[in-house]
């Protein structure tokens, strides 16, 4: 039986403006990103504060994506992507047949949780919470220690949500925490570049990976 297309499957190769902003790629200078394994279909990406140009594999015309900015209530600005087809303002563009488009233009796929029962949704949520802590898929495994860079308050809140799930009740071993700080160094992100925490400490230390045009 053919699996129905979901947002999670499309999101694996999605173009997320929040990731680009987090990695300080939307600046007042043109930056060229060559063949990032995060997006295998994109051969070259030109990034600017108000524009993103994509060169796609086996596709001659380039795809131009407009970037707009809105003010936040507590200061600062937030970037948005505009769908090249309908100009809808979104945070993510998903890979379609002719490029990257919004969710509505890709057939309005459903979320994975919409396909599952109530018990299966609780299991899925517990699994995703464990992923945030760097844990494994089985929801009965011990809870991993607090990841490096995560606040203690956030860690305690995630642990409380994991324990409250029906699939990991008080009788299971999911309530057992692995003590001790996490000394494991932060892995590179999906661009093959330093993690966001390192990027914030050393602003764009990977400038050698880009070509300013």
- Do 91 and 28 reside in the same domain of the chain? yes
Cα(163)–Cα(133) distance, rounded to whole angstroms? 14
- Do 43 and 145 reside in the same domain of the chain? no
- Do 27 and 96 reside in the same domain of the chain? yes
Q: What is the per-residue pLDDT across 166-212, written as a single tens digit (0 to 9) for each?
A: 654 433 444 455 555 554 555 555 555 545 444 444 444 433 344 44
Domain assignment present for 183: no
Domain assignment present for 184: no
Tally the domains of the chain. Answer: 2
Confidence of residue 164 (pLDDT cuts 50, 70, 90): confident
Comparing 3 with 192, the larger pLDDT belongs to 3
Q: Which domain holds residue 167?
A: 117-175
pLDDT score recorded for residue 117: 84
- Do 53 and 15 reside in the same domain of the chain? yes
Beta bridge partners of 46: 32, 53
Say if residues 40 and 13 touch (Cβ distance below 8 Å): yes
- Do 36 and 105 reside in the same domain of the chain? yes
- Do 20 and 54 reside in the same domain of the chain? yes
Q: What is the per-residue pLDDT across 100-154, written as a single tens digit (0 to 9) for each?
A: 999 999 989 988 888 888 888 888 888 888 888 887 666 677 888 899 889 999 9
- Do 148 and 128 reside in the same domain of the chain? yes
| Per-residue CA distances from 92 to 68, 87, 89, 95 (Å) | 13, 13, 9, 10
- Do 42 and 139 reside in the same domain of the chain? no
Domain assignment present for 154: yes
- Do 166 and 61 reside in the same domain of the chain? no
- Do 160 and 201 reside in the same domain of the chain? no
Cα(20)–Cα(23) distance, rounded to whole angstroms? 5
- Do 136 and 194 reside in the same domain of the chain? no
Q: What is the per-residue pLDDT across 30-80, written as a single tens digit (0 to 9) for each?
A: 999 887 677 888 999 999 999 999 999 888 889 999 999 999 999 999 999
| Residue 2 clears pLDDT 60, i.e. is over it | no
- Do 42 and 103 reside in the same domain of the chain? yes
């Amino acid at each position: 039986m053919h699996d129905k297309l979901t947002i999670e499957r499309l999101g694996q190769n999605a173009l997320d403006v929040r990731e680009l902003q987090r990695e300080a790629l939307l600046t007042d200078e043109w930056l060229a990103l060559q063949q990032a394994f995060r997006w295998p279909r994109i051969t070259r990406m030109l990034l600017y504060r108000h524009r993103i140009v994509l060169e796609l594999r086996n596709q001659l015309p380039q795809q131009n994506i407009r970037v707009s900015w809105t003010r936040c209530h507590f200061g600062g600005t937030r970037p948005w992507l505009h769908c090249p087809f309908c100009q809808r303002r979104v945070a993510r563009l998903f890979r379609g047949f002719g490029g990257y488009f919004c969710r509505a233009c890709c057939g309005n796929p459903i979320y994975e949780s919409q396909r599952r029962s109530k018990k299966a949704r609780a299991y899925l949520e517990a699994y995703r919470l464990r992923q945030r802590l760097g844990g494994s898929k089985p929801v009965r495994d011990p809870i991993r220690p607090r990841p490096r860079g995560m606040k203690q308050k956030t860690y305690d809140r995630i642990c409380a949500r994991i324990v409250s799930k029906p699939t990991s009740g008080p009788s299971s071993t999911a309530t057992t925490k692995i003590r001790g700080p996490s000394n494991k160094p932060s892995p590179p992100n999906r661009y093959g570049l330093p993690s966001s925490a390192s990027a914030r400490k050393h602003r764009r230390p990977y400038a050698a990976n880009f070509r300013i045009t």
